[in-house]
Amino acid sequence: MSGFENAFEKRPLTKEELEQIKKRLLERKKELLNEIADILEKEAKEEYQELIEAIREEGDIASAELQESTILALAEMRAKEIEQIDAAIERIEKGEYGICIDCGDWITPARLEVLPYALRCKECQERAEKLGEV
């Protein structure tokens, strides 16, 4: 935890905080990619040789390539997290990161630190969960 200042206030993240979160997201993505490559290597080396090489060389993955296979649920879970990371980075780049998709208010830095993929503020998330929307 980096411990952002005024972390419980609904406010936009500073440029530095965004950079920090982006860096963490990219590091996590790298970790996940390596884990996927390891899983594939262990579980399905022959079938996935090409994909393993692509991950190692290009440092990226199209998660759809994994979603067909049920034996690779573990790899798939990670691929889905990568999707969330990519979406979060896209929001950072568009300047939409940290804005609640329901009420348009800022999500607190404290929440984003723990849940960097959060799309809703705490209140809206709880409401959505009650309504069974998520």
Q: Is 48 helix (H, G, I), strand (E, B) or coil?
A: coil
- Positive or negative, the CA dihedral 99, 102, 105, 108 is negative
Phi then psi for residue 131, to 5 deg, are: -80, 0
According to CB under 5 A, which residues from 6 to 65 bind Zn ion? none
Q: Which residue is associated with the tokens 């860096």?
A: 23
Nearer Cβ to Zn ion (28/127) = 127
- Tell me the DSSP string of 73-87: HHHHHHHHHHHHHHH
Contact call for residue 66 and Zn ion (CB under 5 A): no
Question: Closest approach of Cβ 120 to Zn ion, in Å?
Answer: 5
CB closer to Zn ion, 65 vs 105: 105
The answer to whether 102 contacts Zn ion (rule: CB under 5 A) is yes
* Range in contact with Zn ion (rule: CB under 5 A) among 10-18, 22-30, 88-96, 100-108: 100-108
106 pairs with which residues across the strands? 99
List of residues contacting Zn ion (CB under 5 A): 100, 102-103, 121, 124
